[in-house]
Amino acid sequence: MFAMFKIIISLSALFAIINGALISVADFGSNPSGLKMSIYVPSKISENPAVIVALHGCGGTGQQYYQMTKYPSLADTNGFLVIYPSAPHDSNCWDVASTRSLSRDGGGDSNGLANMIKYTIATYKADPKKVFVTGTSSGGMMTNVMCAVYPDMVAAGSVYSGVPAGCLAGSPGSSPTSANQDCANGKIVKTQAQWVAQVKAMYPGYSGTYPKMQIWHGTADSFVNYNQNFGEQIKEWSGLLGVSFVKNNTNTPQSGYTQMTYGDGTKLVAYSAAGVGHTVPVHETVDLKWFGLT
């Protein structure tokens, strides 16, 4: 009896160590492009928890993005899970250019990320209707891609300093050194109908709704052209979501930021950050409100 009691105590201690920590997951299913998965499990998990996928920028890792963002402490308060993946190729940039990644279950990075989500839902009994994706720079670009390629899996996205889904299509790579610079330089301009058609071709036959979207970009971004890419993202998602511009809210959520509202503000909002370069600081509490987690 005493030995059994010690085993129970040991298991409880192990669970306490695992919870409230970033855990590496070696096998989360098919991983065609060799991504790495880590997941933050809060100290107290909600029943059927929500899932946030947080994507680092070029040159980064999931571990670094975990240290940079406040999602873990907010997860401890709100009980959701945070997946922090890593892209170990092409200067640690996400593949947002290849046909593999821009196709449903095509064998690219988006495919591996989708399998991380499926693993998390199955392992932690997470709510499949409460899966959210966010990311910075290359991670913002992949956020757009995930929302375009897996619209039935993602409920909402929050993009920081990204480009439209499909903007880099056909480029030889996704890093600053290997990608065609036309997209980052703002030379890829399309009509709304063209963007919508390109996204719908990523998941042929899909007739459901697309994730609601929140877009952030700094006016002084000299790395990913603000003037075109901010507007092209809005063009893409306003078309997919069927909403039009309604109004600006100045100094929202802070001084120097302008919130642009589309429709009734429940499907698409965009934030223009005056004087902010690459990248816009992550606004975690705004993200959680957008995701419906606070």
Quote the CA–CA distance of 291 and 275 in Å, as a whole number. Answer: 27
> In 3D, which of 101, 221, 121 has the Cα closest to residue 168?
101
> Phi/psi of residue 51, each to 5°?
-130, 130
- Is 137 catalytic? The answer is yes
Contact call for residues 131 and 154 (beta carbons, < 8 A): yes
Quote the CA–CA distance of 16 and 124 in Å, as a whole number. Answer: 16
Measured in whole angstroms, the distance separating CA 97 from the mean position of its chain's CA atoms is 16
Quote the CA–CA distance of 52 and 73 in Å, as a whole number. Answer: 13
Check 86, 110, 137, 158 and give the catalytic one: 137
Half-sphere exposure of 241 toward its Cβ, with a 13 Å CA cutoff?
A: 28
Quote the CA–CA distance of 83 and 27 in Å, as a whole number. Answer: 14
Q: DSSP labels for 154-216?
A: -SEEEEES---TTTTTT-S-SSTTTS-TTTTTT-----HHHHHHHHHTTSTT--SPPPEEEEE
Quote the CA–CA distance of 180 and 189 in Å, as a whole number. Answer: 15
Q: Alpha-carbon torsion 162, 165, 168, 173, what sign?
A: positive
What lies within 8 Å, CB to CB, of 249 at 6+ separation is 258, 259, 260, 261
Place of tokens 């993009």: 159
Q: Which residues are catalytic?
A: 137
